[in-house]
Amino acid sequence: MKQRTIAKSIELVGIGLHKGVPVRMILEPLPENSGIVFYRSDLGVSIPLKIENVIDTTMATVIGKSGAKISTIEHLLSAINAYGIDNLRIVLDNEEAPIMDGSSIGFCMLLEEAGIVELNANKKAIAIKEPIEVAENGKFVRLEPSDSMIFDFSIKFPHRAIMEQSYKFTFSTQKYKDEIARARTFGFVQEVNALRAMGLGLGGSLDNCIVLDENGVMNKDGLRYKDEFVRHKILDAIGDMSLLGMPIMGGYFSFAGSHKLNHFLTKKLMASSNAYEIVELGETALEKEKALATSFAN
């Protein structure tokens, strides 16, 4: 299986969820072995997508370098990861990725419009060899060996519109589009003032977020899936795991996971050399590696 990039540059203008400012984003192809690289065009700073460049995980995943930062990258990265794209330059003229409709379906459409091409180099993946977990206050995120790419997530909220939800997602690009990509981010109306006091949520609205009050969902069209909340948590996890720099061959399991715990999990994995190995998905790949290749078929 070969590395991928996009066929042509493509751009859009949107608004940031937390800062509420307009942002122009351009996606540009990169050659093999370049990885995913963010670029702040207003500051002239490149920020490679690496674990060590994560600077904050409060309500969003934020990367930064040399005084520049880019926030709320997880939805975009989720779509990039789902389409098996290994090399890409993401140019932004402000500090936050556009929120679109609060899901990743808009980014999926953008990638499809740009087109996806294979490069000459073989794709690499991280094969999980031993279970590895991070836990905090009853919440956990865990990676385990698996022949399939699995994201198995459970949540529990004391709100009647959510309560307990679980979803197990066995990865393929088409299934991602059908089952995960349209799930939107969500928040509670009583938290709005607290968020805005922190300088967050300034661009949030019923057009780009599921908002809940004490009676239920405030969005007039309701939910896109009956369990949209847990599906969005899977969307976020797929984006956060892309900080590893290559796809995972294994299973991701979580109860009430967060950007913070996802970040700690990726750091712990990279510090545990016995827990993983990097494999090249070439013509002589093992059956489990071929299964990963199949998962990126549309």
The catalytic residues are 259
18 is an annotated ligand-binding site residue = no
- Residues 136 and 117: their CA atoms lie apart, in Å, by 41
Q: Is 107 helix (H, G, I), strand (E, B) or coil?
A: helix
**Contacts of residue 46, Cβ cutoff 8 Å, sequence gap at least 6:** 37, 38, 39, 40, 65
Look at the alpha carbons of 266, 107, 29, 119 in this order and tell me if their dihedral is positive or negative.
positive
236 is an annotated ligand-binding site residue = yes
Instruction: Tell me the pairing of strands 139-144 and 251-255.
Output: antiparallel
Which is nearest to 19 in space by CA: 112, 88, 94?
94
| Other beta carbons less than 10 A from residue 277's beta carbon | 12
> Residue type at 126?
I
Rg (CA), the chain: 18
Both tokens of residue 277? 């190995």
- Residues 181 and 276: their CA atoms lie apart, in Å, by 28
18 close to 199: Cβ distance less than 8 angstroms = yes
Measured torsion, CA atoms of residues 240, 75, 50, 84, in degrees rounded to the nearest 10? 90
159 is an annotated ligand-binding site residue = no
Which is nearest to 5 in space by CA: 89, 104, 98, 126?
89
| Cα distances (angstroms) measured from residue 150 to each of 59, 67, 238, 294, 296 | 24, 36, 10, 14, 13
- Residues 252 and 131: their CA atoms lie apart, in Å, by 10
Q: Which residues are annotated as a binding site?
A: 75, 232, 236
Q: Which residues are annotated as a binding site for Zn(2+)?
A: 75, 232, 236
